[in-house]
């Protein structure tokens, strides 16, 4: 008979709106589960038999929605939902609260994406089943950060004792802020923040690093001068509309494009991450380099969503206990 560990037990029935809802122990459990799921696909294929996930996507995000849906299907559950608010009763003016109170009667777990910041919290308060935030405007997107962590974990076997470069738009990139804040909770990370001066990391994020004695940061504007020090490089897009004038954009754009020439200066086992979709910030020739980890990140996103969906439902992954005990013993 399986008994939940405290870290597992505390996730049962939980809504995940921000990563602050999860303890470091919870996140570690999810990382272990994702790793187990990856190598035991057949064993976990009936974990969520009879369960139904609703994907309520008030704005289109095909990749995220497919990831949530595939995760549930691969656990043996089923999926309902809508994508694009024009199809839903929203067009008739129904509130998020009312929609969630209704949908809670149909399903066991909800993934919601909404253009308004804070929408997922409104949903979680109205719902009687767990709600997972699949992105609420520019606010939070916790499962993206879980995918980032799982990728570091799979490449290095750990998410700390690393030098991590974050490159590009560090002002507006929510994925970057969320990743930094979460890594600070694990500790022992050296951040190299690589951006033009117009797009530097906000002070509140730097304060978070400063408040973590085992973490440190360095702000630079040149990628090539630091790439050789990095264990992982997290790329983000430098968007044209973030600049006041075209000249600055054109001058800086190429500095933050990763290509094989820049990659030649990096460590042979450095991992390149990107939240995707990319536009031109990573040259296509990098895709074939073994250091490119961004498509692996997509897979890890699905595995982490499988881990999260089964965990909030309280559904035990068959064989995971023994696997974890063996890991601890080893």
Partner 1 sequence: MEVTSIQDGIIIDHVPAGTALKVLDYLSINPASTKLALIMNTDSHRYGTKDIIKIEDPDTAIDLDVLGLVARSATVDVIHGGRIVDKMTPTLPERVVNVITCVNPRCVTTTEPGIDQVFYLDRTDGEAYRCRYCDEEAEF
Binding site for partner 1 (CB under 8 A): 95-97, 114-119, 121-122, 136-139, 203-204, 207-208, 211
Give which of 163, 145, 54 is closest to 108, Cα–Cα.
54
The verdict on whether residue 64 carries a ligand-binding annotation is yes
For the CB of residue 111, give the shortest distance to partner 1 in the complex, in Å. Answer: 17
* 105 vs 130: CA distance, rounded Å: 12
For the CB of residue 114, give the shortest distance to partner 1 in the complex, in Å. Answer: 7
- Angle at 315 (CA atoms; ends 73, 149), nearest 5 degrees: 75
The verdict on whether residue 174 carries a ligand-binding annotation is yes
The verdict on whether residue 182 carries a ligand-binding annotation is no
* 146 vs 304: CA distance, rounded Å: 6
Name the residue nearer to partner 1 (CB basis): 96 or 303. Answer: 96
Residue 113 a catalytic site member: yes
H or E element at residue 190: strand 189-194
Distances, alpha carbon 50 to alpha carbons 45, 80, 83, 288, 313, in Å: 12, 13, 23, 40, 12
Name the residue nearer to partner 1 (CB basis): 190 or 208. Answer: 208
The verdict on whether residue 277 carries a ligand-binding annotation is yes
223 burial level (CB within 10 Å; 0-12, 13-18, 19+)? buried
* 156 vs 265: CA distance, rounded Å: 20
Q: Which entry of 35, 65, 139, 141 is annotated as an active-site residue?
A: 141
For the CB of residue 117, give the shortest distance to partner 1 in the complex, in Å. Answer: 4
Name the residue nearer to partner 1 (CB basis): 155 or 208. Answer: 208
Q: Which entry of 39, 62, 91, 92 is annotated as an active-site residue?
A: 92
The verdict on whether residue 144 carries a ligand-binding annotation is yes
Q: Which entry of 33, 35, 113, 305 is annotated as an active-site residue?
A: 113
DSSP state at residue 195: -
Which DSSP string do the residues of 137-191 spell out, in sequence order? TTS--HHHHHHHHHHHHHHHS-SSSEEEEEES-TTT-HHHHHHHHHHHHH--EEE
Are residues 181 and 205 in contact, defined by beta-carbon separation less than 8 angstroms? yes
For the CB of residue 207, give the shortest distance to partner 1 in the complex, in Å. Answer: 5
Question: Please, which residues have CB within 8 angstroms of residue 183's CB and are 6 or more apart in sequence?
Answer: 149, 159, 160, 164, 189, 191, 215
Residue 63 a catalytic site member: yes
* 124 vs 136: CA distance, rounded Å: 12
Name the residue nearer to partner 1 (CB basis): 137 or 314. Answer: 137
The verdict on whether residue 65 carries a ligand-binding annotation is no
H or E element at residue 79: strand 78-83
Name the residue nearer to partner 1 (CB basis): 49 or 117. Answer: 117
For the CB of residue 181, give the shortest distance to partner 1 in the complex, in Å. Answer: 11
The verdict on whether residue 92 carries a ligand-binding annotation is yes
Name the residue nearer to partner 1 (CB basis): 117 or 269. Answer: 117
Question: How long a stretch of residues is the chain?
Answer: 330
For the CB of residue 182, give the shortest distance to partner 1 in the complex, in Å. Answer: 15
Residues placed in the known binding site? 63-64, 92, 113, 141, 144, 174, 237, 276-277
Residues placed in the known binding site for L-aspartate? 92, 174, 237
Residues placed in the known binding site for carbamoyl phosphate? 63-64, 113, 141, 144, 276-277
Catalytic residue list: 63-64, 92, 113, 141
């Amino acid at each position: 008979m399986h008994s939940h560990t405290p870290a597992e037990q505390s996730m049962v029935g939980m809504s995940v709106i921000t990563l602050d809802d999860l303890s470091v122990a919870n996140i570690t459990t999810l990382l272990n589960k994702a790793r187990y799921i990856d190598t035991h696909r057949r064993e976990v294929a009936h974990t969520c038999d009879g369960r139904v996930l609703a994907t309520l996507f008030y704005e289109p995000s095909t990749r995220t929605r497919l990831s949530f849906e595939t995760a549930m299907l691969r656990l043996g559950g089923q999926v309902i939902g809508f994508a694009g608010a024009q199809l839903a009763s929203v067009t008739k003016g129904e509130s998020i609260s009312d929609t969630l109170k209704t949908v809670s009667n149909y399903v066991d777990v909800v993934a919601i994406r909404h253009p308004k910041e804070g929408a997922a919290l409104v949903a979680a308060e109205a719902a009687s089943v767990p709600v997972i935030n699949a992105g609420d405007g520019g606010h939070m997107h916790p499962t993206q950060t879980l995918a980032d962590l799982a990728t570091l974990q799979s490449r290095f076997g750990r998410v700390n004792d690393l030098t991590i470069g974050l490159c590009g738009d560090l002002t507006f990139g929510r994925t970057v802020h969320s990743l930094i804040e979460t890594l600070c909770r694990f500790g022992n990370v050296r951040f190299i923040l690589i951006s033009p001066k117009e797009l530097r990391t906000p002070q509140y994020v730097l304060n978070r690093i400063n408040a973590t004695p085992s973490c440190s940061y360095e702000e630079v504007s040149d990628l090539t001068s630091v790439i050789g020090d990095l264990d992982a490089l997290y790329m983000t897009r430098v968007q044209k509309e973030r600049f006041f004038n075209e000249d600055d954009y054109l001058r800086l754009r190429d500095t933050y494009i990763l290509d094989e020439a820049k990659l030649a200066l990096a460590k042979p086992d450095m991992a390149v991450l990107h939240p995707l979709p990319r536009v031109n910030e990573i040259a296509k020739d990098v895709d074939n380099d073994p250091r490119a980890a961004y498509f692996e990140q997509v897979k890890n996103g699905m595995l982490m969503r499988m881990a999260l969906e089964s965990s909030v439902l309280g559904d035990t992954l068959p064989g995971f206990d023994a696997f974890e005990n063996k890991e601890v013993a080893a």
